[in-house]
Amino acid sequence: MTETAAVPAENHDSHEDHAHAHPHVVPVRTYILVFLALMFGTAITVGASYVDFGHSYLNNIVALAIAFSKAALVVLFFMHVKYSSKLTQLAVGSGFAFLVILFFFVFADYLTRGWLGTPGS
């Protein structure tokens, strides 16, 4: 990109800053707390699976809610996304956004097939 080469020192400085800013070193304490939360989440996932919430879909919702919370902790702290650049966060978000699109269209088809009768039968 010839244009960037022409941009004066201003831009250069910000790059230097970036190189130096010792990437946020997360304290060990944070990792330990996240680890304990993940272990706790695993324990309550198993525990909740033995509880009858009245409807099996409620069990599914509880299990998935815990799983998503655990995944969020791993992504934000172990994978440092909380401290990452906006560009990285965008890449992370787009990965999950496309997963939502995939699931939306799969379910829009499969979960609704029985809703309308087939003409002629």
Partner 1 sequence: MSSTHHPAFVHHFENLGEQKEAATFGMWVFIAQEILFFGGLFGAYAVYRNLHPDAFYYGSHHLNIPLGAFNTAVLICSSLTMALGVHAAALGKRTQIVGWLLATVFLGSVFLGIKVVEYKEKFDHHLVPGTSFDASQLHMESIEDPALLAKSQKAAQIYYSLYFAMTGLHALHMIIGIPIILWIAARAWLGQFGPEYHSPVEITGLYWHFVDIVWIFLFPLLYLIPKPH
| Number of amino acids touching partner 1 (CB under 8 A) | 54
In 3D space, the residue among 69, 87, 68, 71 whose CA is nearest the CA of residue 79 turns out to be 71
Binding of partner 1 by 5 (CB under 8 A)? no
- Choose which of 22, 29, 112, 119 interacts with partner 1 (CB under 8 A): 22
Q: Is 69 in contact with 41 (CB distance < 8 Å)?
A: yes
- Choose which of 1, 6, 108, 111 interacts with partner 1 (CB under 8 A): 111
Number of H helices, E strands in the chain: 5, 0
Closer residue to partner 1 in complex, CB, 25/116: 25
Residue 85's SS3 state is coil
Amino acid at 108: A
Q: What is the C-alpha to C-alpha distance for residues 44 and 62, in angstroms, rounded to an integer?
A: 10
Residues that bind partner 1 (CB under 8 A): 12, 15-16, 18-23, 25-26, 28, 31-32, 35, 38-39, 42, 45-46, 49, 55-56, 59-60, 63-64, 66-67, 70-71, 74-75, 77-80, 84-85, 87-88, 91-92, 94-96, 98-99, 102-103, 106-107, 110-111
